[in-house]
């Protein structure tokens, strides 16, 4: 049995607020190899906090606890800040929802990719520039040289998100966490972005955690899906076996979506059983 | 009920001139639901805003009930046409209770007489009890807020409801509840809907006929049934249908190392 | 919106539950509940509570000045034996050059200070609010004209402009108040306009427009309440400056006229005896300092509670 790339056991994220303690993630466990894992859930299910906790990006006053949180054998909970810094952005990268907020508005896209690369690899400026251009080409920018010298506000949402992916993949990470990478984009554009992401992940043999609210999208994109509800994983299943989902929440989530294929009226709604959250 | 003839909407002048809507025409029968589908920048929301007066009508005609609308719109227009916005977190006044939000339209139109009974009835219609009456928006969930927004639009008993992406800010399970509510209200109150959405499945669920828009122009007018059978003559419509079915891999990828 | 009584500190748990009920049964309960939440956030900040205490103290002292002050603030004692006495048991804060008890004068001076503060707030806030919201909401040439007028007022330093007004209108407390009010509304107009620009394109304003609401109704009923909180914060923080300006005018002899016990004018008379009889100038100076500080602390606390960015 090969060693998993990421090993998460009993991950808990707590927020100590004035009004009391809120547990956003309550004992999530999973292992990830070099595969595509989807985490699906509605707002407040703790899916995003799970992704952030892995990268150590839990916003204060959050507190992360786990029995095990190891990346490639390195314990992320006890690792030094320096180790974490080299891992983050180097071997583990994250793509956020909206490129508008995650790209630096006063730096050109090219500069940002170069900076990301030089932060983790000893490379001269010339080499970094070549890498950045190659990366922009890899995310199918029509004119990499032009995009290189553009500022984030000068590109469209889809291009911005592709630039973001280029920046995150330039260091050749082993694990990419994508948190709703396409939900700010139009459907046709998001399909294009996903296709690029899919190609790169497959080519480079990366592990991918794809966090989304869209069950249909995740199941069509990933190999394995974790369904989260109220901070817990209620069901884990192979994406292709989604139709055989056992948990009523997963079934409900699937059924309540209107589809072009069949016209159900009224749409079945989700009756939330309090026992799911236990 | 609603007739849009050669509608053009232009914002700005000179270098900043943007033709948001180019020569769009469509017709909606009373009691029908009509969808406008497209991606961002397609002008679908602008059509809606031009109908209700939030965007200018540069040229062309908008007829409601056979009468051309005036600019600015008359009070009678607002009693006939109401709108529900996309983001329920932004469309309710943060300092007003549900009660104040719902009584405002009645006060504007001088119908304060049986306000209390009508507010309670409006709440009942959208499936909320009287206990919601004195809450502030921050005490409501996203779905409840959208229900309040729908109640506010319905309290003047309009005939036409303009729906601007009414479910896209909501979770899937809440979306189903709101779609059912809209479907039910239309049947019960005999409303005419114009629904704007980027989601083909949502439009096909709620509407009988729809218009696909791209870059401010009407691309294709079709029916929900045609969409369901995958029957689209236009390439752009087909690509939208394709994209709505989830991600598809072009070629099969080499097998991945299985998870440990 | 406001005007609800302060919840008493000794409310029972049943009262609290009623206030915090997620399902209020009446308009009043909803309002009180929100007010109570604000009060809870406010009372968590000890400095803000101290500020509120100082301001309440100022109000109480002003109301009960006749009862508190042991001597007349206007007529002094024996000029031969009771002039410029240091603080003692008979004269807690000493006496001034007219043999008047400084403590009594400060107590009565609080009325003058409160009078100025309240009147300036009542004149300047509505003007600023109205100019700002109308200008921001309507835009176009209305905005240009109103904002250029605001800019003209903003371009002058406050004290200088107030001096010019008082010089033109003649010295006196009423004219000083008018002068200060005229010079303090432009920043409020700017703030209100900035807030309005953010609000006017929001969906809830579009929604009320689509109900057929008239422009005055939208501005007064929907825009103003949202601008009000940040304006209240700003006005409270400005109070210290207003008190200082009033005192400055008094000091220069352009504000309150003798023998009115105005703190700034008192400092001015004390200036002549600063080396040997320091208390004559220091005592009213301390009063000015404490009250200004109180308003500043209160303003800081209010900002934490009312700032829309910190809203839940």
Q: Which domains does chain A have, with CATH numbers?
A: 1-80+206-277 (3.40.50.300)
Q: Which residues of B touch A256 (CB under 8 A)?
A: 172-173, 175-176
Read off the tokens for C74. Answer: 């206007």
Start-to-end CA distance of chain A, whole Å, equals: 33
The answer to whether residue A179 scores a pLDDT higher than 80 is: yes
Report how many Cβ contacts below 8 Å link chain B to chain C.
84
pLDDT above 60 for B229: yes
Contact C24 B94 (CB under 8 A): no
pLDDT digits (tens, 9 = 90+) for C211-221: 999 999 999 99
Q: How far apart are CA A64 and CA A57, in angstroms?
A: 10
Q: Is the pLDDT of residue C197 over 90?
A: yes
pLDDT at B250: 60
Residue B250 lies in a domain: no
pLDDT at B220: 92
Which candidate in B38, B205, B223 is best for mutational testing of the A interface (most A CBs within 10 A)?
Answer: B205
Q: What is the dihedral angle through the alpha carbons of C241, C246, C252, C258, rounded to the nearest 10 degrees? A: -150
- CB–CB of B173 and A270 under 8 A? yes
Q: What is the rounded average pLDDT of the residues A194-203?
A: 86
Lowest mean pLDDT among A244-253, B245-254, C122-131: B245-254
Complex ipTM: 0.87
Whether residue B251 lies inside any domain: the answer is: no
Q: Tens digits of per-residue pLDDT, C53-94? A: 999 999 999 999 999 888 888 888 888 888 888 888 888 888
Q: What is the pLDDT of residue B15?
A: 81
In chain A, % helix, strand, coil (3-state, to 5) comes to 40, 25, 35
Measured between CB atoms, does A102 come within 8 Å of chain B? no
The whole-angstrom separation of Cα C311 and Cα C114 is 31
Residue ranges of alpha helices (H) inside B155-234 are 172-189, 200-206, 224-228
Question: What is residue B255's predicted lDDT score, i.e. its pLDDT?
Answer: 42
Phi, psi of A171, deg, nearest 5? -85, 5
The band of C6, judged by pLDDT with boundaries at 50, 70 and 90, is: very low
What percent of chain C stands above pLDDT 90? 38
CATH of the domain at B193: 3.40.50.300
Q: Which residues pair with B208 in a beta bridge?
A: none
Q: Report chain B residues whose CB lies below 8 A from the CB of A273.
A: none
Tell me: the pLDDT tens digits for C108-148? 999 998 999 899 999 999 999 999 999 999 999 999 999 99
Subunit contact C213:B109, Cβ cutoff 8 A: no
Q: Is B119 domain-assigned?
A: yes
B-chain CB neighbours of C32 within 8 Å are none
Is residue B257 included in any domain, yes or no? no
pLDDT at residue A137, rounded to an integer: 86
List, for residues A255-274, the tens digit of each pLDDT value: 888 888 778 888 888 877 77
Q: Which residue of C has its CA nearest to B82?
A: C210
pLDDT exceeds cutoff 50 at B126: yes
Domain around B185: 2-244
b vs e for B71-84, b when ≥16 Cβ sit within 10 Å of the residue's Cβ?
A: eebeeebbbbbbbb
> Before A266, cis peptide (omega within 30)?
yes
Q: What is the pLDDT of residues B83-119, one digit of tens each?
A: 999 888 899 998 899 999 999 999 999 888 889 999 9
Q: Give the whole-angstrom CA distance, residue A191 versus residue A188.
A: 5
Res B260: pLDDT: 36
Nearest chain B CA: its distance from A84 CA (Å): 24
Burial class (CB in 10 A: 0-12, 13-18, 19+), C3: exposed
Interface contact A3, partner B, CB < 8 A: yes
Q: Which of B45, B84, B87, B134 to mutate to test the interface with C (most CBs of C within 10 A)?
A: B134
Q: Over the stretch B138-151, which tens digit does the pLDDT of each residue have?
A: 889 899 999 999 99
Contacts of B173 (CB under 8 A, 6+ apart): A42, A252, A253, A256, A269, A270
Partner residue facing A217 (CB), from B173, B247, B259: B247
Decide if A174 contacts A90 (C-beta within 8 A).
Answer: no
Class of domain C52-310: mainly alpha
- Using a 10 angstrom Cβ sphere, with 0-12 exposed, 13-18 middle and 19 or more buried, the burial of residue A82 is exposed
Question: What mean pLDDT is reported for chain C?
Answer: 86
Q: So what's the pLDDT on residue C310?
A: 46
Percent of chain B with pLDDT over 90: 61
Q: Looking at residue C13, what is its pLDDT?
A: 65
> Which residue is closest to B79 within chain C, CA to CA?
C211
Q: Is the pLDDT of residue A84 over 70?
A: yes
Q: What is residue A89's predicted lDDT score, i.e. its pLDDT?
A: 80
Mean pLDDT of A154-167: 84
- Tens of pLDDT, residue by residue over B148-202, are 999 999 999 999 999 999 998 888 889 999 999 999 999 999 999 999 998 888 9
Expressed in angstroms, the distance from the first to the final Cα of chain C is 18
Average pLDDT over residues C279-300: 92
Q: What is the pLDDT of residue B37?
A: 92
Q: What is the pTM of this model?
A: 0.85
* Domain extent listing, chain C: 1-44, 52-310
List, as ranges, residues 113-172 from B with C-beta within 8 Å of C: 131-132, 134-136, 138-139, 149, 152, 156
The answer to whether A275 contacts chain B (CB < 8 Å) is no
| Structure confidence at residue C8 as a pLDDT band (50, 70, 90) | very low
Tokens describing residue A133: 């251009």
What is the pLDDT at residue B258? 42
CB B246 to CB A260 under 8 A?
no
Q: What is the mean pLDDT of residues A30-41?
A: 90
Residue range C231-236: average pLDDT?
Answer: 89
CA atoms within 13 A on the CB side of A144: 14
Domain count within chain B: 1
> For B9-32, what is each residue's pLDDT tens digit?
998 888 888 889 999 999 999 999
The pLDDT of A181-198, averaged and rounded, is 83
């Amino acid at each position: 049995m090969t060693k998993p790339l990421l090993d998460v056991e009993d991950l808990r994220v707590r927020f100590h607020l004035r009004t009391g303690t809120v547990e956003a993630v309550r004992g999530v466990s999973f292992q990830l190899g070099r595969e595509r894992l989807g985490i699906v859930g509605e707002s407040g299910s703790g899916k995003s906090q799970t992704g952030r906790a892995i990268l150590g990006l839990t916003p204060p006053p959050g507190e992360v606890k786990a029995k095990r949180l190891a990346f490639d054998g390195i314990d992320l909970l006890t690792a030094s800040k320096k180790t974490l810094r080299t891992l983050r952005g180097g071997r583990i990268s994250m793509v956020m929802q909206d490129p508008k907020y995650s790209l630096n508005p006063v730096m050109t896209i090219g500069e940002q990719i170069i900076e990301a690369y030089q932060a983790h690899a000893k490379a001269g400026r010339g080499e970094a520039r070549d890498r950045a251009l190659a990366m922009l080409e890899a995310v199918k920018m029509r004119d990499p040289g032009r995009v290189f010298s553009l500022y984030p506000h000068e590109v469209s949402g889809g291009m911005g998100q592709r630039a973001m992916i280029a920046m995150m993949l330039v260091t050749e990470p082993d694990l990419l966490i994508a948190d709703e990478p396409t939900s700010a984009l139009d459907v046709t554009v998001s399909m294009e972005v996903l296709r690029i992401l899919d190609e790169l992940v497959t080519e480079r043999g990366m592990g991918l955690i794809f966090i989304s609210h869209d069950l249909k999208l995740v199941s069509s994109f990933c190999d394995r899906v974790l369904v989260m509800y109220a901070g817990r994983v209620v069901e884990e299943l192979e994406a292709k076996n989604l139709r055989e989902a056992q948990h009523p929440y997963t079934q409900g989530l699937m059924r309540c979506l209107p589809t072009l294929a069949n016209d159900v009226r009224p749409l079945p709604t989700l009756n939330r059983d309090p026992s799911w959250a236990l | 009920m609603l007739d849009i003839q050669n509608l053009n909407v232009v914002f700005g002048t000179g270098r900043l001139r943007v033709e948001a809507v180019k020569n769009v025409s469509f017709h909606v029968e009373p009691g029908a639901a009509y969808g406008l589908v497209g991606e961002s920048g397609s002008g679908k929301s602008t059509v809606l805003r031009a109908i209700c007066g939030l965007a200018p009508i540069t040229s062309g005609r908008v007829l409601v009930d056979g009468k051309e609308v005036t600019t600015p719109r008359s009070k009678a227009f607002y009693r006939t046409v109401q709108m529900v916005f996309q983001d329920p977190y932004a469309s309710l006044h943060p300092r007003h209770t549900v009660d104040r939000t719902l009584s405002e339209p009645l006060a504007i139109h001088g119908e304060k007489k049986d306000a209390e009974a009508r507010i309670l009835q409006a709440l009942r219609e959208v499936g909320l009890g009287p206990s919601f009456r004195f809450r502030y928006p921050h005490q409501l969930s996203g779905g409840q807020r959208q229900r309040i927004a729908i109640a506010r639009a319905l309290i003047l008993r309009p005939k036409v409801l303009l729906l601007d992406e009414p479910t896209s800010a909501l979770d899937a399970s809440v979306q189903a509840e709101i779609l059912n509510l809209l479907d039910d209200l239309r049947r019960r109150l005999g409303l005419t809907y114009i629904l704007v959405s980027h989601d083909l499945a949502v439009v096909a669920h709620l509407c009988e006929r729809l218009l696909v828009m791209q870059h401010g122009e009407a691309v294709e007018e079709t029916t929900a049934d045609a969409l369901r059978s995958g029957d689209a003559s236009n390439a752009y419509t087909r690509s939208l249908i394709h994209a709505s079915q989830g991600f598809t891999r072009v070629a099969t990828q080499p097998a991945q190392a299985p998870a440990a | 919106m406001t005007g609800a009584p302060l919840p008493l500190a000794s409310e029972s748990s049943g009262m609290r539950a009623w206030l915090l009920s997620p399902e209020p049964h009446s308009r009043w309960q909803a309002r009180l509940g929100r007010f109570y939440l604000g009060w809870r956030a406010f009372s968590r900040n000890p400095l803000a509570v101290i500020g509120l205490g100082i301001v309440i103290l100022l109000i109480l002292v002003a109301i009960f000045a006749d009862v508190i002050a042991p001597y007349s603030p206007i007529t002094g004692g024996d000029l031969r034996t009771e002039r410029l006495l240091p603080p003692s048991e008979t004269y807690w804060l000493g006496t001034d050059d007219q043999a008047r008890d400084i403590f009594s004068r400060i107590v009565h001076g609080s009325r003058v200070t409160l009078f100025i503060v309240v009147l300036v707030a009542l004149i300047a806030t509505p003007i600023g609010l109205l100019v700002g919201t109308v200008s921001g909401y309507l835009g176009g040439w209305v905005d240009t004209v109103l904002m250029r007028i605001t800019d003209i007022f903003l371009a002058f330093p406050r004290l200088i402009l107030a001096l010019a007004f008082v010089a033109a209108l003649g010295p006196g407390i009423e004219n000083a108040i008018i002068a200060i009010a005229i010079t303090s509304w432009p920043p409020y107009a700017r703030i209100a306009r900035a807030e309005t620009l953010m609000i006017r394109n929001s969906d809830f304003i579009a929604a009320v427009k689509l109900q057929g609401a008239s422009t005055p109704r939208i501005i007064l009923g929907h825009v103003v309440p949202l601008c009000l909180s940040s304006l209240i914060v700003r006005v409270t923080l400005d109070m210290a400056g207003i008190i200082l300006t009033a005192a400055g005018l008094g000091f220069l002899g352009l504000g309150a006229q003798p023998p009115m016990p105005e703190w700034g004018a008192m400092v001015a008379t004390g200036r002549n005896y600063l080396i040997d009889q320091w208390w004559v100038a220091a005592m009213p100076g301390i009063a000015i300092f404490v009250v200004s500080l109180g308003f500043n602390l209160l303003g800081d606390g209010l900002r934490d509670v009312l700032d829309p960015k910190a809203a839940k």
